[in-house]
Amino acid sequence: MTTPSGPGDGRLDPGLSAIMSERRQLINLAYRLLGSLAEAEDVVQETYARWYAMPRQRQEAIESPGGWLTKVAGRICLDLLGSARARRESYVGEWIPEPLPDRMEWPGGRPGDATIDPADRVTLDESISMAFLVVLESMTPAERVALILHDVFGYSFAEVAETVGRTPAACRQLAFSARRRIRASRSPAAPAAQRAGIVRDFKRAWEAKDIDALIDLLDPGATAVVDGGGIVSAGLRPIEGGEQIARYIIAITRRAPDMTLLERTVNGQPGLVAQQDGVIVTVAACDVVGDRIKRIWAVRNPDKLRPWTVHGVEEQWDGDWR
């Protein structure tokens, strides 16, 4: 993407492509910090707006435009996280981060399309998993920003300090505290193929309405959280216990006999998607520990499912992925 450097001169701004190439990193950063693609996009737009609001001489004086953009995006996220905590306390029911589909599986994409630049996709790794994002929600905004900037994006604590507004030593302590929360919540991960197989077996048991098989695939202490946002029906509190979750699933199946289940990648991990009349109504992320499902996060809030529909992808990204 390039634009003329001056009115009518036809010349291209050589620095613009370098500035816009930072978009992928900014989206990755803001999504991890906020748990929302829509909010991440808003942050990126605001970040670029601040860059272009500066006089050209000031832009040229910035030694690392990418570092400047990241610092500004981090500060915007830090401010938003403070207000987000208050918003989520008044949220109807349980709040779950917005689930992210694999780019190649998006209905608006073209599976296997080699023309889609991998650099335009949100990076999927452990720090994008639903389990990781949920733990981030338990952290203070400063802990969250310090951890993501340092441990995920590799910024020094001196650089993190410029964003958080604290000393490097204080940022080091923030990251240490955040890592402790991560370790306390982490369970031994099953191999990828095993996780996918267990989720597949869970889907088949669900479709067969086999409550005994569902119970066997769920950890006795499993937890299921459903996010409807007060817009669609959903439990207001987590469902505790494997048997209770299995009975809840059977009840759902009886109320919606025309529901179709599909295996999909959700935040880089095997998950399930439920469709009714060809429309995605639920996206479920699963946390597999050993040979059983330990946690399920099911998002039903339609505002959070826009990236999973053709219209949502086109509306939200407006072609910027390509």
Amino acid at 51: W
Give yes or no for a contact between 242 and 220, defined as CB atoms under 8 angstroms apart. Answer: yes
Is 134 among the domain residues?
no
Amino acid at 22: E
Owner of token pair 């597999």? 288
Q: Say how far apart CA 52 and CA 73 lie, in whole Å.
A: 14
How many C-beta neighbours within 10 Å does residue 117 have? 10
- Residue 219's H or E segment, with its range, is strand 218-227
Task: Please count the residues of the chain.
Answer: 322
36-50 average pLDDT score: 94
Amino acid at 294: K
pTM: 0.83
Residue-wise pLDDT tens digits, 95-119: 999 999 986 554 444 333 433 333 3
Number of domains in the chain: 2
Q: Say how far apart CA 212 and CA 303 lie, in whole Å.
A: 34
Share of the chain above pLDDT 90, in %: 68
Q: Say how far apart CA 119 and CA 110 lie, in whole Å.
A: 16
Stretch among 26-40, 100-114, 159-173, 301-315 having the lowest mean pLDDT: 100-114
Domain stops at, among 70, 90, 110: 90
Whose CA is closest to 123, among 264, 47, 33, 25? 25
Domain stops at, among 90, 115, 146: 90
Task: Give the single-character DSSP code of 271.
Answer: E
Is 11 among the domain residues?
yes
Is 68 among the domain residues?
yes
Domain assignment of residue 47, given as a range: 1-90
Q: What are phi and psi of 138, to 5 degrees?
A: -85, -5
How many C-beta neighbours within 10 Å does residue 75 have? 18
Q: What is the CATH classification number for the domain harbouring 199? A: 3.10.450.50
Task: Count CA atoms within 13 Å of residue 76 on its CB side.
Answer: 23
Whether residue 44 has pLDDT greater than 50: yes
Q: Say how far apart CA 284 and CA 112 lie, in whole Å.
A: 24
Is 177 among the domain residues?
no
Task: Count CA atoms within 13 Å of residue 249 on its CB side.
Answer: 33
Is 148 among the domain residues?
no
Residue-wise pLDDT tens digits, 269-309: 999 999 999 999 999 999 999 999 999 999 999 999 988 87
Is 320 among the domain residues?
no
Domain stops at, among 33, 60, 90: 90
Give the tokens for residue 311. 């219209």
Which segments of 186-308 does DSSP mark as H helices, in order?
192-207, 211-217, 242-255
Per-residue pLDDT at 319: 33
DSSP of 289-307, one letter per residue? ETTEEEEEEEE--GGG-GG
Q: pLDDT confidence of 87, banded at 50, 70, 90?
A: confident
Q: Say how far apart CA 166 and CA 157 lie, in whole Å.
A: 10
Is 21 among the domain residues?
yes
Is 86 among the domain residues?
yes
Q: Say how far apart CA 294 and CA 60 lie, in whole Å.
A: 52
Annotate 36-60 with b (16+ C-beta within 10 A) or e (fewer).
bbbbbbebbeebbeebeeeeeeeee
